[in-house]
């Protein structure tokens, strides 16, 4: 069994000793270079354009999102997709993080490096057990959905390429889908992914929020 999947199951074990050992195994996972992707996505509300992720960044927060999955993940069980997404998004939200800067993201994306070593003990306890590596092998993940088993449901959020991580939090732990994270270290952008106007906007945010900014060029 994949060691990360084993840790996931052990973490949710009813045996307290097994669960505690699983926590200890992952106690340092958050203490690495981690980059959170932000986008210039906008929505209209009352006739106004809202850039929720940019506003969150300026408020020293990150915006958690809904789980979205491609049809290919479900293979012959495509009929369960809507139910899985509905049940996950009813109670949980997620945030993807990367251990490296990458160009393999959609246009309009930039990254912000965060220093998790500055977390308070309270924040650490809230996040460490809910931080998981993404797994690219559907065989290793062994996705199976039993609507009475929350463990099966959470595993769907762990699908992703190597070097990608996910934080899965209960909606009750968030305020307007935001989580306060005042540890932004540096903004990174790739000029092939954002427009000149967007680049200028990032420079304004950098100056206003006193966050250094720099350009990166490849994966």
CB 168 within 8 A of CB 155: no
pLDDT of residue 24: 95
The pTM of this model reads: 0.93
Give CA angle at 126 (122, 131), nearest 5°. Answer: 135
pLDDT of residue 109: 97
Segment 113-166, tens digit of pLDDT? 999 999 999 999 999 999 999 999 988 888 877 776 888 889 999 999 999 999
Residue 44 clears pLDDT 70, i.e. is over it? yes
> What is the distance of C-alpha 161 from the center of its chain?
13
d(CA 112, CA 104): 16
Q: Which helix (H) or strand (E) holds 214?
A: strand 213-215
Segment 56-100, tens digit of pLDDT? 999 999 999 999 988 888 776 788 888 889 999 999 999 999 999
d(CA 198, CA 57): 15
DSSP string, 103-143: S-S-TTEEEEEE-GGG--HHHHHHHGGGEEE-B--HHHHT-
Evaluate the CA torsion angle 182, 109, 163, 13 in order and state its sign: positive
Q: At a CB cut-off of 8 Å and minimum separation 6, what does 165 contact?
A: 29, 34, 96, 97, 98, 99, 131, 132, 133, 134
State the average pLDDT over residues 158-178. 95
pLDDT of residue 76: 67
Lookup: tokens for 202: 């990032």
Instruction: Identify the CA nearest to 54 among candidates 112, 113, 124.
Output: 112
């Amino acid at each position: 069994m994949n060691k990360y999947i084993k840790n996931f199951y052990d973490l949710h074990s009813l045996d307290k000793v097994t669960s505690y050992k699983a926590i200890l195994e992952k106690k340092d996972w958050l203490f690495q270079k981690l980059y959170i992707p932000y986008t210039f996505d906008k929505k209209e509300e009352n006739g106004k354009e809202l850039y929720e992720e940019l506003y969150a960044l300026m408020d020293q927060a990150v915006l958690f999102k809904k789980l979205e999955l491609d049809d290919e993940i479900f293979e012959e069980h495509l009929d369960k997709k809507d139910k899985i997404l509905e049940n996950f998004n009813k109670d949980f939200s997620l945030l993807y993080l990367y251990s490296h800067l990458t160009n393999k993201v959609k246009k309009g994306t930039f990254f912000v490096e965060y220093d998790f070593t500055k977390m308070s003990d309270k924040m650490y306890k809230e996040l460490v057990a809910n931080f998981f590596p993404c797994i690219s092998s559907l065989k290793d993940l062994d996705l199976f959905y039993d609507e009475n088993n929350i463990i099966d449901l959470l595993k769907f959020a762990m699908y992703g390429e190597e070097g990608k991580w996910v934080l899965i939090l209960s909606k009750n732990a968030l305020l307007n889908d935001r989580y306060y994270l005042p540890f932004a270290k540096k903004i990174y952008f790739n000029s092939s992914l954002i427009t000149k106007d967007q680049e200028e906007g990032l420079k304004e945010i950098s100056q206003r929020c006193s966050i250094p900014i720099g350009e990166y060029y490849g994966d």
